[in-house]
Amino acid sequence: MIALVSGASGGIGSAVCERLADDGYTVVGLDAEIDVTSSAQVESFVDHVETSGPITALVNAAGVLRTGRAVDLSDAEWADTLAVNASGVFHVSRAVARRMIPRHSGAIVTVASNAAKTARQNMAAYAASKAAATVFTKCLGLELAEFGIRCNVVAPGSTDTPMLTGLWDGSDAIRTSVEGAPGAYRVGIPLGRVASPSDVAEAVAFLLSDRAAHITMQDLTVDGGACLGV
């Protein structure tokens, strides 16, 4: 079994790779050496991977974060965010799905964000890109269902990764995430802690596994209740 993971060197991506390796997958990371915004590079890389065997699982975990007020975002910041977080998911998913269809098997999981369904200050580009990736993955799942291919989304909230610490000043990142920031209309985390990358990886592994054999087009939120179940 071959699992392709984009963003494999990231906090969540690396945890996903470790978890899937424990499940017996041969894990192939698609990272900085391949530009997910380039469909040509993605197609070539997927072709190369498939010379070793069929890709049976795909995890879209590559992502970038550009923060700032919506009215202050530059064209480049907006375009870069959508290019990686939305178009990247499209390019990789399309390349892999095309090869899964003749085999009538496979599973795809996109790591999105709870920001895709909850407004956040200074995160308009990120939230919009993750919302696009979420709905794309569900539409893909509908189209691939007849081939027995399942497509689902895992939506993490605040997770203990460099992306989180970059949002706040130093050690305040985790405390602010847990306690909330009323001035920014952001509630805290009811479970009282941020997620670990392994928490997210467990959800990904479940949705790829036969335990989720009848689950597709679903959005599994892993945020400790931060979105209050919405």
DSSP 164-216: HHTTSSTTHHHHHHHH-BGGGTB---TTSSPBPHHHHHHHHHHHHSGGGTT--
Task: Residue 209: name the closest of 157, 156, 152, 155 by CA.
Answer: 152
Q: Catalytic residue among 25, 90, 126, 136, which?
A: 126
Closest to 112 in 3D by CA, of 85, 130, 137 = 130
**Per-residue pLDDT for 3 more than 80?**
yes
Q: pLDDT tier at 169 (50, 70, 90 boundaries)?
A: low
Residue 170 clears pLDDT 80, i.e. is over it: no
What residues contact residue 146 under an 8 Å CB cut-off, 6+ apart? none
Q: How far apart are CA 48 and CA 37, in angstroms?
A: 18
Mean pLDDT of 184-206: 95
What band does 215 get if pLDDT is binned at 50, 70 and 90?
very high
Across 64-78, 103-117, 173-187, 208-222, least confident range: 173-187
- Which percentage of the chain shows pLDDT scores above 90? 87
May I ask the CATH class of domain 2-160+196-222? alpha beta
Q: List CB contacts of 36: < 8 A, sequence separation 6 or more.
A: 6, 30, 42, 62, 84, 87, 88, 89, 91, 92
Q: Is residue 8 predicted with pLDDT exceeding 90?
A: yes
Q: Is the per-residue pLDDT at 77 higher than 80?
A: yes
The one-letter amino acid code at 170 reads G
Average pLDDT, the chain: 95
Q: What is the C-alpha separation between 28 and 49, in angstroms, rounded? A: 8
How far out from the chain centre does Cα 14 lie? Answer: 12
Q: Where are the domains of the chain?
A: 2-160+196-222
Give how far Cα 4 sits from Cα of 78, 132, 184, 229, Å.
27, 21, 37, 30
Q: Is 126 a catalytic residue?
A: yes
Q: What band does 107 get if pLDDT is binned at 50, 70 and 90?
A: very high
Contact yes or no for 129/113 (Cβ under 8 A): no
CA distances from 6 to 182, 183, 191, 209 (A): 35, 35, 29, 18
Q: Report how far residue 15's alpha carbon sits from residue 222's, in angstroms, rounded to the nearest whole number.
A: 15
**C-alpha torsion 105→6→155→150, nearest 10:** -10
